[in-house]
């Protein structure tokens, strides 16, 4: 049990990766606060983790609303009095692939709000809880597109911003016993992605990526969850400010 007696907040816990992380952490003994804008979905995640012997609560939150993030952390403080781990996973690409001249201001803002600003505010609230306790593990969801991605401008900017922000956190919070790291997956097979693309287009994308990635397949949510577990556990006690590429060797 690598997270025995730890309290862990997972945002995006109704999604493909978030649910896998929530189930993985609960299986390692953590009390999981499963949060998502999709209240039904994160309640389902809670049922699944309870069915496999885990425990926690589900809290619907829109991470683009500062007031809701503050309320979430206030609830955690009142209920548990501490927070050991936060994994900021809620996110997604709000801007359809476009030429740079066609960047839409509203879509760009939505990408920055959902992916970057939400992460910054969640980490601010986490630091307020973690600093006084002298312990904390922050894991932020970037993406392999942090390196740059053709026609994915604001999403890659947001995910690159998460990496820079995470390094700044690591530099500032290390002395308080808090580590901050980021995950950068290549393509992960999640139900939402498959549904959005449709089976046929998804299959073409999956095949194309599988041929390109040296390990010959795309990632599963569980691949990502195991890396989140590593960074949230004492196995990564001396690792901070890093980005872990979960890419099957893509972009080497
Ligand atoms: N799937 C991939 O290939 C891939 C690759 C790299 C990075 N990522 C990142 O991983 C994270 C999880 O994505 P996923 O693949 O599991 O997709 P997903 O769509 O299954 O999960 C995203 C979750 O975020 C939630 N969410 C969306 N807006 C929200 C809001 N305003 N407030 C709170 N929750 C909100 C959704 O309800 C959903 O449950 C995202 O940050 C995504 O950018 C995904």
Query: What CATH number is given to the structural domain containing 129?
Result: 3.40.50.720
Ligand 1 pocket residue status of 17, Cβ below 6 Å: yes
Distance from the CA of 103 to the center of ligand 1, in angstroms? Answer: 21
Distance from the CA of 179 to the center of ligand 1, in angstroms? Answer: 23
Residue 246 lies in a domain: no
Distance from the CA of 220 to the center of ligand 1, in angstroms? Answer: 14
Residue 155 appears among annotated catalytic residues: yes
Name residues whose C-beta falls within 8 Å of residue 48's C-beta, 6 or more positions apart in sequence.
19, 23
**pTM for the model:** 0.98
Residue 99 lies in a domain: yes
The pLDDT of residue 96 is 82
Query: How many domains does the chain divide into?
Result: 1
Name residues whose C-beta falls within 8 Å of residue 178's C-beta, 6 or more positions apart in sequence.
127, 130, 131, 135, 136, 137, 138, 169
Distance from the CA of 92 to the center of ligand 1, in angstroms? Answer: 5
Find the length of the chain.
252
Residue 227 lies in a domain: yes
Backbone angles phi, psi at 63, to 5 degrees: -75, -5
Residue 205 lies in a domain: no
Backbone angles phi, psi at 91, to 5 degrees: 170, -175
Residue of 9, 11, 13, 17 to test ligand 1 pocket, by largest number of atoms within 8 Å of CB: 17
Choose, from 146, 155, 163, 213, the residue flagged as catalytic. 155
First to last CA, the chain: 34
Residue 128 lies in a domain: yes
Contacts within 8 Å (CB) and 24+ apart, 67-76: 69/118, 69/121, 69/122, 69/125, 70/125, 72/9, 72/33, 72/35, 72/125, 73/125, 73/126, 73/128, 73/129, 76/7, 76/9, 76/33, 76/129
> Whose alpha carbon is nearest atom 22 of ligand 1?
15
Ligand 1 pocket residue status of 91, Cβ below 6 Å: yes
Residue 85 lies in a domain: yes
> Whose alpha carbon is nearest atom 18 of ligand 1?
15
Residue 252 lies in a domain: no
Give one word for 87, left, alpha or beta, with left for phi > 0 and alpha for psi -120 to 50: beta
pLDDT tens, residue order, the chain (252 aa): 999 999 999 999 999 999 999 999 999 999 999 999 999 999 999 999 999 999 999 999 999 999 999 999 999 999 999 999 999 999 999 998 889 999 999 999 999 999 999 999 999 999 999 999 999 999 999 999 999 999 999 999 999 999 999 999 999 999 999 999 999 999 999 999 999 999 999 999 999 999 999 999 999 999 999 999 999 999 999 999 999 999 999 999
- Asked if residue 85 lies in contact with residue 139, where contact means CB atoms within 8 angstroms, the answer is yes
Distance from the CA of 13 to the center of ligand 1, in angstroms? Answer: 9
The 31-36 sheet, strands edge to edge: 55-60, 31-36, 7-11, 85-88, 136-141, 178-185, 243-246
Query: In terms of residue numbers, what domain contains 25?
Result: 7-189+220-237
Residue carrying structure tokens 């992380």? 21
Q: Can you tell me the distance from the alpha carbon of 121 to that of 102, in angstroms, rounded to the nearest whole number?
A: 29
Residue 207 lies in a domain: no
Ligand 1 pocket residue status of 44, Cβ below 6 Å: no
In DSSP terms, which residues pair with 56 in a beta bridge?
32
Name residues whose C-beta falls within 8 Å of residue 208's C-beta, 6 or more positions apart in sequence.
none
The pLDDT of residue 133 is 97
> Whose alpha carbon is nearest atom 2 of ligand 1?
188
- Asked if residue 241 lies in contact with residue 180, where contact means CB atoms within 8 angstroms, the answer is yes
């Amino acid at each position: 049990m690598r997270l025995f007696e730890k309290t862990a907040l997972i945002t995006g816990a109704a999604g493909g990766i978030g649910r896998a992380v929530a189930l993985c952490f609960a299986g390692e003994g953590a009390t999981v606060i499963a949060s998502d804008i999709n209240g039904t979905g994160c309640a389902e995640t809670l049922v699944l983790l309870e069915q496999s012997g885990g425990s926690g609560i589900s809290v619907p939150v829109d991470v683009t609303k500062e007031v809701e993030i503050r309320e979430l952390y206030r609830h955690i403080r009142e209920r548990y009095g501490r927070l050991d781990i936060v994994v900021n996973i809620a996110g997604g690409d709000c801007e359809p692939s476009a030429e740079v001249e066609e960047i839409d201001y509203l879509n760009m803002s939505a990408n920055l709000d959902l992916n970057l600003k939400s992460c910054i505010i969640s980490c601010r609230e986490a630091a307020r809880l973690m600093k006084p306790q002298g312990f904390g593990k922050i894991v932020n969801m970037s993406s392999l597109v942090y390196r740059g991605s053709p026609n994915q401008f604001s999403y890659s900017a947001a995910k690159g911003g998460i990496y820079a922000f995470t390094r700044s956190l690591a530099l500032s919070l290390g002395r308080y016993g808090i580590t901050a790291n980021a995950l950068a997956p290549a393509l992960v097979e999640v139900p939402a992605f498959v549904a959005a693309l449709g089976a046929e287009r998804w299959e073409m994308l999956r095949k194309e990526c599988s041929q390109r990635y040296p390990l010959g397949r795309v990632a599963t949510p569980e691949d990502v969850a195991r890396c989140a577990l590593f960074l949230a556990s004492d196995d990564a006690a001396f690792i901070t400010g890093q980005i872990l590429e979960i890419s099957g060797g893509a972009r080497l």
